[in-house]
């Protein structure tokens, strides 16, 4: 393309960017768009300066985009740290408090032992007072005056909506949910063996036949998620989110990070770092293979009783 044409093309593209009022930042700090238009007029006679200026603008826009992603990531981390602080500050309930039935719209139940505690709240062993059924109850505190808690409440609803649609032998069953004052309860199938990470902590590395048995079941559960329409990405597969039941059964659990989408690729950063696929960590497009990577990390965890990329066993305390 002749130099004159290149200059004209660059001029037109820059003029379009100026309509957005952004070029002033690229060439003149935070100068108003009107001053940037004046600057463009000065450059019209210089065929070399226009393409250079356009390149500088594109570089700045790319840098700003990275900065916004970094800000969102830091906000998510800060929100998570605050939720961990709140969860840790929650007092351990006494025997007397646990003997009082919790009355919700779905169930009236008695609180049993504490099964786990993390950044999303606490998980209790519960007993349905009407039927005697044992269940796992996820309890989360929601502060309606806190904007981050409002967003979190929406993510809980996403988790519930996903659970309602899932029916597979290797996925933990959803039983119901309740909102009681500032508490949100999700009722789930109880798995008496605890998580894979807890089993590894108690008993050490697993045998090859047992790993093969668990692997087959987990792959069946993951295939079920990945063949839904639209597909479902778990996005947080790790030892702490795989539960063990009777007769050597295992089930995928905790869909708080999951995503159901028409798209085959996502860009949002979700999951636990020692089990996280490189493309997720680098915030590049990812899909089913990210879950497969995480599951491979779990198999290494089963063999060694240690996360393959460091961190605490099973990622407990998320």
Q: How far is CA 213 from CA 4, 168, 175, 291, 301, in A?
A: 69, 17, 27, 19, 15
Active site residues: 236
Q: Nearest Cα to 200, choosing from 303, 54, 77, 107?
A: 303
Q: Which long-range contacts (CB under 8 A, 24 or more apart) does 264-268 make?
A: 264/231, 264/288, 266/233, 266/235
Q: What is the pLDDT of residue 109?
A: 96
Q: What is the pLDDT of residue 264?
A: 43
pLDDT average per 10 residues of sequence, the chain (318 residues): 54 49 45 57 58 68 67 62 56 58 92 82 92 94 75 77 89 93 91 95 96 97 92 88 95 71 45 72 76 93 85 47
Tokens 């957005």 found at:
20
Q: What is the pLDDT of residue 233?
A: 86
> What are the backbone dihedrals phi and psi of residue 136, each rounded to the nearest 5 degrees, phi first?
-95, 135
Q: What is the pLDDT of residue 288?
A: 86
pTM of the model: 0.65
Q: What is the pLDDT of residue 26?
A: 43
Token reading at 44: 């019209």
Domains of the chain, earliest start first: 1-60 (no CATH), 95-189 (3.30.200.20), 196-315 (1.10.510.10)
Bridge-partner residues for 122, per DSSP? 117, 139
- Over its C-alpha atoms, the chain yields an Rg (Å, rounded) of 26
Q: What is the pLDDT of residue 1?
A: 55
Question: ∠173-182-145 over CA atoms, to 5°?
Answer: 125
| Angle, in degrees to the nearest 10, between helices 3-19 and 49-89 | 40
Q: What is the pLDDT of residue 81?
A: 57
Exposed, middle or buried, 209 (CB in 10 Å: 0-12/13-18/19+)? exposed
Q: What is the pLDDT of residue 154?
A: 77
Q: What is the pLDDT of residue 87?
A: 54
């Amino acid at each position: 393309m002749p130099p004159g044409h290149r200059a004209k093309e660059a001029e037109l593209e820059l003029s379009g960017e100026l309509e957005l009022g952004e070029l002033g930042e690229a060439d003149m700090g935070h100068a108003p768009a009107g001053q940037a238009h004046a600057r463009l007029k000065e450059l019209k006679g210089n065929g070399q300066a226009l393409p250079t200026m356009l390149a500088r603008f594109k570089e700045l826009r790319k840098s700003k985009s990275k900065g916004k992603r970094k800000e969102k990531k830091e906000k998510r981390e800060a929100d998570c740290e605050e939720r961990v602080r709140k969860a840790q500050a929650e007092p351990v309930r006494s025997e007397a408090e646990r003997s009082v039935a919790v009355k919700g719209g779905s169930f009236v139940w008695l609180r049993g032992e504490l099964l786990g505690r993390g950044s999303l709240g606490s998980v209790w062993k519960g007993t349905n007072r009407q039927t005697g059924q044992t269940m796992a109850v996820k309890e989360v505190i929601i502060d309606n005056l806190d904007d981050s808690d409002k967003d979190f409440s929406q993510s809980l609803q996403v988790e519930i909506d996903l659970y309602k649609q899932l029916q597979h032998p290797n996925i933990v069953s959803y039983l119901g949910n309740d909102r009681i004052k500032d508490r949100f309860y999700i009722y789930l199938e109880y798995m008496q063996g605890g998580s894979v990470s807890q089993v590894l902590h108690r008993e050490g590395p697993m045998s090859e036949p047992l790993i093969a048995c668990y692997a087959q079941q987990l792959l069946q559960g993951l295939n079920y998620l990945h063949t839904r329409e639209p597909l479902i990405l778990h996005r947080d597969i790790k030892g702490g989110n795989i539960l063990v039941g009777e007769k050597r059964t295992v089930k995928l659990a905790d869909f708080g990070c999951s995503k159901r989408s028409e798209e085959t690729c996502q860009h949002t950063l979700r999951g636990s770092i020692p089990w996280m696929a490189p493309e997720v960590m680098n915030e590049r497009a990812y899909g089913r293979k990210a879950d497969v990577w995480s599951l491979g990390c779990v198999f290494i965890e089963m063999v060694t009783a240690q996360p393959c990329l460091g961190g605490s066993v099973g990622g407990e305390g998320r």
